[in-house]
Each structure stands twice: as structure tokens, then as C-alpha cells.
Amino acid sequence: MLKLSKLVLVRHGQSQWNLENRFTGWVDVPLSKKGIEEAISAGKKLKDYEFDTMYVSHMLRAIQTLHYIIIESSSKKTPIIKHNDKRISKWELNYTGDFKREIPVYQSVELAERYYGDLQGLNKQKTREKYGAKQVKFWRRSFDINPPNGESLKDTSERTIPYYKKYILKDLKEGKDVLVSAHGNSLRSIVMYVENVSKEEIPNLEIPTGVPIVYTFDKKMILLDKKLL
């Protein structure tokens, strides 16, 4: 009998450009001081969770958040970063270890934030003043309206959801507990899939920074519970 599996989603703590109210997207900025505090807080809330696998965006703010969560963990397992490069993958497997005492950590561009195109680096309030609050809200929160030369949430989901199904969902079906450290929109797309949120409802879905979202599934992958820590 497989045990209940848990999926924990954590949006990275506040980034420096979150603090400056700028569109970030694929600009690889670090956490702000507050963001570091939020990541540490998330780690303390997850201190006693025993994860079997971890997934993280390739972007610095998500990686930093995961590192602070790991630092706060009481787990005796050692996180091992898994790399996609063929030579690195081959070389890093050439060791003798106790796999039961390790947590594989997979980095992926598929889990990265949506690409904001021409908006990247712009101040959000000034962008509202230029284009109108309604238009900016469409760009930020709608499902299938693209910002200029950027990704819509639909575009983002076309990379996150196949990755989720191939790797994360597979782990959950095996009864594993999984942690994902990623971004507001990549996580919105996953939440949309997991909770069956409609594209009409998705504009109202906000993922807070540094707040773990915990899902519990039965062995048939029926969602039993959701809570925010």
C-alpha cells in the first residue's frame, strides 16, 4: 500500500525587483533582504517535513529560496543536485553512496517564471499609467493574453505542465513527498492544473511569496487536502 503523498509548492521569497515593483520575468535577479527572511520562514515551517525529491527553477531567486529551506530542515538526508548535461550526469553518478540518505534535487528551465518580453525591467505602476490598469491586469493575470513579445500563462503552462506530468506527478504516484521551489506564474499554472481552476477563475489566483502550499493526495492521486503554512 502506497502512503499518502504530499506536494509542497513554494514561490520564492521577495526578489529585488519585486521590492522595486518591476516586471522580472527571465531577468535573473536575487532575493531582497525581505525575500531571504521569507525563505527562512518557509524553511522553519517545513523543518520537520521529510522530502523524497525536490524540484527547482534554474533561476537564482528560486534556488536561493530552496537553499534557505534546506538549511532550516531537520532532515538527515543530503540534498544532491542533479544536472541535465550528459557529461556531468555521467560523472556525478560515478560514486558509492547510500541513496536512502540523499534527496535528489532537479533544476529545470521548464519551472522558470513566465517570460515578460518587452515589459521586463519596467516599473509596474508606470506601466499602468502608460497602458491603463485594465490592460496591465490582462497581461499579468489572464490565461491567454500575451504581454508584448512575451509569454502568456497559457504559454507558460505548455512547458510547466508536461514537466509536472513527466516527473513530479510520477513521484507523487509512487507515494513520494515532493517540494517545488519556483515562481508566481509557473506555480499558478501548476495550481491551475492540480486544482482544476478554469481560465475564467485564474485571474483571481495569487501565489504569495515564501508561503508553502501543501497538497495531500491519496494513492489514486485524488486531492484530499490543501493548506497554506
- In degrees rounded to 5, what are phi and psi of residue 119? -85, -15
β-bridge pairing 5-11 and 213-217: antiparallel
Query: For residue 35, how far is the Cα from the chain centroid?
Result: 15
Write the pLDDT tens digit of every residue in 115-140.
999 999 999 999 999 999 999 999 99
201 Cβ contact list (under 8 Å, min separation 6):
none
What number is the average pLDDT over the span 181-208?
96
C-alpha span between 80 and 69 (Å, rounded) = 14
Map out the domains of the chain as residue ranges: 5-48+58-211
Residues 55 and 168: their CA atoms lie apart, in Å, by 8
Q: Which residues are catalytic?
A: 12, 113
Q: What's the pLDDT at 86?
A: 76
CA distance 181 to 33: 18
**What gap in Å lies between CA 42 and CA 220, rounded to an integer?**
28
Please compute the mean of the pLDDT values over residues 62-84 and round it to a whole number.
94
Number of residues written out for the chain? 229
Give the cell for residue 148.
Answer: 508584448
Residues 78, 84, 89: CA angle, nearest 5 degrees: 65
* pLDDT (mean) for 72-79: 95
* Span 82-107, pLDDT tens digits: 887 778 777 877 777 788 899 999 99
pLDDT of residue 177: 97
Work out the burial of residue 80: count CB atoms within 10 Å of its CB; fewer than 13 is exposed, 13-18 middle, 19 or more buried: middle
Looking at residue 2, its pLDDT comes to: 56
CA pair distance 158, 147, nearest whole angstrom: 16
Contact 179, 5 (CB under 8 A): no
Radius of gyration of the chain measured on its C-alpha atoms: 18
Q: Give the confidence band of 169 by pLDDT, cuts at 50, 70, 90.
A: very high
CATH superfamily membership of 5-48+58-211: Phosphoglycerate mutase-like (3.40.50.1240)
9-40 confidence digits (pLDDT tens): 999 999 999 999 999 999 999 999 999 999 99
56 DSSP assignment:
E
Question: How high is the pLDDT of residue 109?
Answer: 96
Helix (H) or strand (E) holding 78: strand 78-82
Residue 1 confidence (pLDDT) above 60: no
Side chain identity at 205, as an amino acid letter? Answer: L
